[in-house]
Amino acid sequence: MGAYIIRRLIQSALLIFVIASLVSIFIQLLPGDPAYIILGETNATPERVAAVRRELGLDRPLLVQYADWLSGVVRGDLGQSLTSKRPIGPDLAKRLPRTFELIVASMTLAVLLGIPAGILAAKYRNRAPDVLVSLFSVIWISTPVFVSGTLLLLVFGVKLRLLPATGYVSFIDDPIEHLKRLVLPATSLALLDMAVILRMTRSSLLEVLGEDYVRTARAKGLAESSVLFRHALRNALIPVVTIVGLQAGTLLGGTVLIEFIFNWPGVSSYLISAINQRDYPVVQAVVLVIATIFVLLNLITDLIYAVIDPRIKYA
Amino acid sequence: MNTAMQLQGPSWEHPFGTDEYGRDLMARVMRGSRSSLIIALSSVALATVVGIGFGIIGGYFGGFWEFVTMRTVDVLLTIPPILLAIAVVAFLGPSRINLILVIGFLYMTRFARLSFASVVQVKQREFVEAARVIGARTPHIIRTAILPNILAPIFVQISLSLGFAILLESGLSFLGLGTPPPEPTWGNMIGVGRGFMQQSGWYVFWPALAISVTILCCNMLGDGLRDALDPRLRE
Amino acid sequence: MTEQAPAWARLLDLSSRSLNRRTVVRLGAGAVGSLAAGALLAACGGEQETQRESAPTATSVPGTQVSPTADMATTPATSPSAGEPVRGGELIYALSSDPPNLDPHISTGTAARCVKLQLYNGLLRYNDEGELLPDLAAEWEISDDGLQYTFILREGVTFHDDTPLTAEDVKVSIERIQDEATGATRKVEMSGISEITVEDEQTIILKLEQPHAALLEYFAQPETAILSKKFLESGGDPNTTSVGTGPFKLLSREPGVRIEVERNQQYHHEGRPHLDKIIFIPYQDENTRVSAVRGGDAHMADYVPWKDMQSIENDPNLRLETGQNSAFMCIQYNVRVKPFDDPKVRVALSYAYDRKAIIDAAFFGRAIEITGGVIPPQSWAYNEELEGTYTYDPEKAKQLLAEAGYANGFSVTLMSTSQYGMHQSTAQVVQNNLQAIGIDCKLELYDWQTVVQKHTKGEYQFRIHGLAPEILDPDFLTNFFASGSPHSKSTGFSDQEIDRLLQEGRAAQNQEQRKQIYKRLEQRILELAPWTFLVYRQDGEALRREVQGYKHLPGALGFFSGIMLQETWLQK
C-alpha cells in the first residue's frame, strides 16, 4: 500500500511538471500581445509597445522566460499579473478556497440528495418513485448548467427574491449572508451531478441486488432493510465513489459558467478575466494550480478506492 | 431583419416568436441545429479517428509508443475540458474550425483510452497470433483482426460524446467563445437570449429545449447501444 | 463661507479670495459655450431640469451671470428625490468592468474612471452642465495671448495622508504626465506645457508654446489628477495604492472582486461626501450586473444594457438615470485599401446604412441618428445646417457606387468585436445593409483585444467603432482626424485642409471665429467621409429607489458621472 501511494505521488508530480511546461510553452507560442492591452487603443504606438515589452521581459528568448518562470514556481512565486501588477500568489490564494467551497458544497448536496434518491429508485424499481426520480435525472443530465443556473437566478434571486442573486460576502464578515449567497450557485452546480450520482446508485444497487450473496441474505430471512443497507449498499457504493471523484472534475469545469453567471469571485472567473485581458502569467498560474488540484483529486479518489474496495490489493 | 418586430412571443407567423432583430426564432433554432450538429459530429469524428489511432499505436506496439500516446492522454485529462477549450479558443480566436479542432482533440482522450484497453486485450487473442505467424503485415492485422473487434464500445462512446460535444460547444458559445454570430448556434442563442428573459422567455426556451432533447437522444442512443452490444446483457 | 450659505454655494465652496477682473472676463468667454449648451439642454426639457427649484441668483459666481441656467447648474442635482440628504450608509456599486489599475493618469475606461474620481481631484472640475469650476485650484488666470496659465490653489486642502497640498505637488503631477515612462493618457496635451514654475506654496505658472483653446478642460479630468509629491517620491505606486485629495480614501482592493473606499473626513467640499463608504464590485457579465440591482444585491449599476432600460424604468423599485450621450457609433474606413481609398465610395456607402435599424437592434430605441457632423447638439460649435447630409437612401447609394465605377459592387470584410453587444449588433445591421445594395460584405468578429491590436496595426478593411469626444470643446476632433493621431495612423487618412483647420480652431481665441472654423472643418470631413457617423447613444445607470442625489451627466460629461457620487445619499 505504501509503495503504491509513493508511486502514485511521483507520477502525479511528474504529470504536473509536464503540464506546467506545456502550458507555459503553449501560451508563449500563441498570437496576441499583452503590451497592446496594457497600453490601450490610443496609446499603442510601435515604440511604446516595444518599450512595454522590454519592461515586462517579453522580448527575452522564450526559453529564458520559461526558465525564469519555472524557477519562480519552484520557489512558490507564481509571478506578477500584467494588468494589475500585483503578485498572483496571494490573489489566487484568496480565490482558491471560494471555488473549492463551491465544489465541496455542490458535491455534498449532490451526494446527500443523489444517493438516497438512487436507493429509493432502486427499491421501487419501475414503480412511481422510480419513474419520477429517473425522469428528473434525465432532465437535469441533459440541461446545460448555464441554463439551470440562469433559471434559478432569475426565479429565486430576482423574481421571488428569496435569496441573494449574485455576489459574495466573506464568511468572516457575515456567516449567514455568506451561506445565503452560496445556495444558488452551489445548487445550480449540483443538479447535474446529483442526476449522475442518482443514476449510478440506482443501477449499481440493482446489479448488486441480483448477486448471489444478496439472495443468500434474503433467504436467511434477514429484514429487507438490513439486506439493503448492510449487505447490498456497501458494495453498490464503490462505483459511486469513483463517479463522485470523476465528477469533481466536471464540477470544476462547471464553476467556469457558474462563477460567471453568479459573479462568484473564484479561480474560474479569475481565469476568464485573465484570458480576456491576455494576462499570460495569471493564465499560466491558474491553469497550473487547477491541473494540480485535478491531479490530486484523482490521486485521492484512487486512494479512497483502494481503501474501501476489499477486492483490490496493492503491492 | 425587421427591427419593428423584435422580441415577439409565439404567433402563427412566428411559431417560436422573434429575436432582437425581429428574426424568426424557429428558423434560427433550425439553422442553429446545423451549426451545433456540424461541430458536434465533426469534432467527435475527429476524436474517434485520432483516439483510435492513439489507442492502436499505444496498445499494439506498446513500450515507447504506449508511453507517448497514453501519457499525452493523461496530460490532456488533467485539465477540465471546458477550461482548456476556453483557453485555446480565446487565444486562437473563435471560429467553427477551431472549435472542432479543440473539442475533437479534447475528446480524443476517451477514445484513446477505450481503444487502448481493447487493443491490449484483443492483441493476445489466438487469431491475432495466428495472423502474425502466417506472416501478415501489421497494417493488415490491424485492419482485419484488431479494428473490427474493438468497435463495439467505440460506438457507445460516440453517441455519448456527441452529447458532451454539444454541451461543450454551447457552453463556449454561451461565453461568447463559440461560433461567432451572425451564424446562430443553440449555445450563442441561449447566451444572448438569457439577457432577454425579462422581455421574452421564449427566446432562451427554444434553443435550451433543442439542446436538452438532443443530448437526451444521444444519451438514450448510447444506453441503447450499450445494451445491444454488451454481450453480458444479450440474452 | 458661512453656515447659512445655500447648497449651491457650498458645492462651489469658493475661497474668500476674490477673483480679479481679468479672470472673470476670461472665464466669461470660456464659459459661454458650455452655458449655451446648458440652456439648450434645459430647453430640450430633460425631466431633471424642469424639476429643479429655482436657486438663488448666481451673480457672485464668475462668468455665470450670462445665463439664468447657471444657477440651476450649480444646484446639487436632486433628481426625482425628496428630502434632505442623509449622512452615512454604504453604497454598493456594480461596475461594468474591473479597473485594471488605479493610476489616475492612465485612463482605463469609464468604470475605472468612476473609482478614480472618488480618490482624486484635478485643478478644476466640471459641474453638471459642463461648466468649469474651481476644484483644487481656487482661481486661475490666462494671459491675453493664451500662453501663460496661472493657478492659485485652494487653501487648506490635505491629501489622505494629511500632508497639505502645495504647488510642488501640482508640478510633480504634471511632470509625471509629461514623462514618457508613465504612459499617461494626457501626455500629448500636457506636453504643450513647456515650463512649470512654482511661484509660491499656493501659486503655479504654466507656460505654453502655442495657445490651446481647450487646454483648461483637460485639467478637469481625472487623467490630470494631482498626486502627492511626498507619496511619489517615497516610492509610492499609484497603480496599486492611493494618496489623493478626493472625497473618498482607498480602504481595500482585491482585483476583480471589490474595491472599497471610505469617507475622507477632511474633504475640501464641506459636507461632502454623504456616504460613509462605497463598495465597487465588478461584474463580468452584464446580465448578472442588472440582476444584482434588480435582486437588491447592489444599489446601482453602470452601463445598463440598452435592452434592459425599459424594464428598469418600469420597475417600481428601480430608477434609470440616463442622458443623451455624445458617444457615437461610426464606421472607420482603412483608406489604404481599395475601394475605400476612393472618397466617392465612402460617400456612397454613407447613404447605405439604416441608422434607425441600428438604433432599434443595438440600442433598443435609446439612441439618435447622426446625419450630419459629429460635434454633438449640446455643443456651442454644433452645426445644425449639416443635419441631413447623409440619410438612409439605398437607391442613392447604389447610384453613387455606379458612378464611382462599382455598379456591380465589390467584396469587403467588416471588422467588429463579439465582446460588446452594441458593436456586434451594429455590425450585423451594417452587413445586412451593404448586402442589400449588392456589396458582398463578410463579417469578422474578434475579441476586443484582437480588434485593438488590428486597429493599431491598420490590419482591417473597415470597422465598427464606438467613440466619444474626450472633452466638450470641439477640439476633440484633433484626436480623431489630425494627421499623426492614433486614429489617422490606423486608417491611413490624412488631409492637409483638415489639419490646417484643426490648427486654426485650436489657436483662435474668439468663439464666433472658432465656430466658423469648425463648421468648415465638419463640412470637409463629411465631404471626404473618412468615417461614417451612425448614431449617438444614451448611456445610463440603474439605481435602486433609495439612492438619492445621483445624476447621469449629459453629453460628453456622461463619462464623468462618477463625480456625482459625492452628492449621493441613501434614503433610510
Confidence of residue C18 (pLDDT cuts 50, 70, 90): very low
Nearest to C183 among A39, A260, A276 (CB): A39
What is the distance between the alpha carbons of residues C331 and C184, in angstroms, rounded to a whole number? 27
Interface contact A144-B167, CB threshold 8 A: yes
Question: Which residues, other chains included, contact B161 with Cβ-Cβ below 8 Å and sequence gap of 6+?
Answer: B44, B47, B107, B110, B111
CB contact under 8 A, B83 and A295: no
Indicate the SS3 state at residue C505. Answer: helix
* DSSP state, residue C199: E
Binary contact (B195, C424; C-beta < 8 A): no
Contact yes or no for B104/B50 (Cβ under 8 A): yes
- Asked if B211 and A253 come within 8 Å (Cβ–Cβ), the reply is no
Query: What's the pLDDT band for A1 if we cut at 50, 70, 90?
Result: low
- Of all residues in chain B, the percent with pLDDT exceeding 90 is 6
DSSP state for residue C223 in the 8-state scheme: G
pLDDT at residue B4, rounded to an integer:
67
Three-state SS annotation for C442-498: EEEEECHHHHHHHHHHCCCCEEEEEECCCCCCHHHHHHHHCCCCHHHHHHCCCCHHH
Asked if C419's CB is within 8 angstroms of B3's CB, the reply is: no
State the average pLDDT over residues C185-190. 85
Task: Give A255's contacts in chain C (Cβ within 8 Å).
Answer: none
What pLDDT does residue C117 have?
93
Which of C100, C255, C288 is opposite residue A263, by nearest beta carbon?
C288
**CA-CA distance, A8 to C460, in Å (whole number)?**
52
Taking contacts as CB-CB distances below 8 angstroms, the residues of chain C near B18 are: none
Cβ distance of B3 and C361 shorter than 8 Å: yes
CB contacts of B4 in chain C (<8 Å) are: 360
pLDDT tier for residue A310 given thresholds of 50, 70 and 90 = low
* Contact flag A40-C452 (C-beta cutoff 8 Å): yes
> To probe the interface with C, which of A84, A159, A178 has the most C CB atoms within 10 Å?
A84
**CA–CA separation, C92 vs C280, rounded Å?**
6
The pLDDT value recorded for residue A164 is 82
Residue A44 banded pLDDT, cuts 50, 70, 90: low
CB of B209 less than 8 A from some CB of A:
no
The C-alpha of C51 sits at a distance from chain B's nearest C-alpha, in angstroms, of 31
Question: Grid coordinates in use for C569?
Answer: 445619499
pLDDT (mean) for C51-63? 32
C contacts of A45 (beta carbons < 8 Å): 456, 486, 489
Model confidence band, residue B22 (pLDDT cutoffs 50, 70, 90): confident
Which phi-psi region, left, alpha or beta, contains residue C162 (left: φ > 0; alpha: ψ -120 to 50)?
Answer: left
| C297 → closest Cβ in A32, A40, A165 | A165
Partners of residue B180 in chain C, C-beta under 8 Å: 418, 445
Tell me the three cell numbers of residue B138: 501489421
Contact B179, B98 (CB under 8 A): no
| Residue C36, pLDDT above cutoff 80 | no
- Whether B105 and chain A come into contact, CB under 8 Å, resolves to no
Of A274-288, B115-129, C48-62, minimum mean pLDDT range: C48-62
Comparing A265-269, A275-279, B38-42, C294-298, the range with the smallest average pLDDT is A275-279
List of chain C residues whose C-beta atoms are within 8 Å of the C-beta of residue A32: 449-450, 453
- Judge whether residue B133 has pLDDT over 50: yes
pLDDT tops 70 at residue C28: no
A85 touches chain C (CB under 8 A): yes
Nearest CA in chain A to B233: A207
What residues of B are in contact with residue A136 (Cβ under 8 Å)?
A: none
A294 touches chain C (CB under 8 A): no
Q: How confident is the model at residue B41 (pLDDT cuts 50, 70, 90)?
A: very high
Burial of A172 per CB tally in 10 Å (0-12, 13-18, 19+)? exposed
From chain B, the residues in CB contact with C419 under 8 A are: 176
Q: How far is C138 from C136, CA to CA, in rounded Å?
A: 6
Torsion A170-A171-A177-A179 (CA) sign: positive
> What domains lie within chain C, and their CATH numbers?
248-323+538-570 (3.40.190.10), 325-537 (3.10.105.10)
On whether any CB of chain A is under 8 Å from the CB of C292, the answer is: yes
Mean pLDDT of C162-168: 91
- pLDDT for C420 equals 79
**Mean pLDDT value of segment C279-297:** 89
Q: Which residues of C touch B3 (CB under 8 A)?
A: 356-357, 360-361
pLDDT attached to residue A43? 64
The residues, ordered by sequence, that sit 6+ positions from B55 with a Cβ below 8 Å of its Cβ are B69, B111, B112, B113, B114, B115, B116, B117, B118, B119, B150
Average pLDDT over residues A207-215: 79
Interface test with C, best of B5, B8, B21 (most C CBs within 10 A): B21
- Identify which of B86, B171, B211 has the shortest CB distance to residue A275: B86
Q: Say what the pLDDT of residue C498 is.
A: 94
- DSSP code, position C547: E
Tell me the chain B residues in contact with residue C447 when contact means C-beta distances shorter than 8 Å.
90, 93-94, 176
Least confident of B5-14, C183-192, C236-245, C358-367: B5-14
Which of B199-203, C69-73, C177-181, C318-322 has the lowest average pLDDT?
C69-73
Confidence band of C510 (pLDDT split at 50, 70, 90): confident
Q: What is the ipTM of this complex?
A: 0.81
Q: How many angstroms away from the CA of B25 is the closest CA of chain A? A: 18
- Minimum-distance CB partner of A154 among B170, B197, B211: B197
Q: What is the mean pLDDT of chain B?
A: 82
Inter-chain touch C360–B198, beta carbons under 8 Å: no
Sign (positive/negative) of CA torsion B37, B43, B47, B49? positive
CA-nearest residue of chain C to B196?
C307
Given a cut of 50, is residue A20 above it in pLDDT? yes
Element (H, E) at C323: strand C318-333
As given in the structure block, the three cell numbers for residue C122 are 484635478
Identify the chains in contact with C, defined as 3+ C-beta pairs within 8 A.
A, B
The CA distance from C50 to C52, in Å, is 6
Q: Give the model's pLDDT for residue A42.
A: 59
Give partners of A (≥3 CB pairs < 8 A). Answer: B, C
Q: What is the mean pLDDT of residues B20-39?
A: 85
Q: What is the pLDDT of residue A225?
A: 77
Q: Which residue of A has its CA nearest to C94?
A: A167
C445 part of contact set with chain B, CB < 8 Å? yes
CA distance A262 to chain C (A): 7
Please tell me whether residue C249 adopts helix, strand or coil conformation. Answer: strand
Q: Is the CB of A257 inside 8 Å of chain B's CB atoms?
A: yes
Whether residue C349 contacts residue C398, with contact meaning beta carbons closer than 8 Å, is answered with no
B91: which chain A residues are within 8 Å (Cβ-Cβ)? 27, 30-32, 275
User: Would you call A279 helix, strand, or coil by DSSP?
Assistant: coil
How close, in Å, is residue B191 to chain C by CA atoms?
A: 10
Residue of A311, A314, A285, A262 whose CA lies nearest to A70? A285
- Chain C residues with CB inside 8 Å of A263's CB? 281, 283-285, 288-289, 292
Q: Which of residues 431-460 of C touch A (CB under 8 A)?
A: 447-450, 452-453, 455-456
Q: Tens digits of per-residue pLDDT, C86-99?
A: 888 999 999 988 88
Q: Which residue of chain B is at minimal alpha-carbon distance from C284? A: B175
pLDDT band at C501 (very low <50, low <70, confident <90, very high): very high
- Is some CB atom of chain A closer than 8 A to the CB atom of B215? yes
DSSP string, B10-68: --SSSTT-B-TTS-BHHHHHHHHHHHHHHHHHHHHHHHHHHHHHHHHIIIII-HHHHHH
The least confident of C247-251, C452-456, C516-520 is C452-456
| CB-CB under 8 Å, C107 with A166 | no
Q: What integer pLDDT is reported at residue C262 of this predicted model?
A: 95
Of C552, C565, C469, give the one whose Cα is nearest residue C128: C552
Give residue A29's pLDDT band: very low, low, confident or very high (50, 70, 90).
low
Q: Which residue of C has its CA nearest to A262?
A: C288
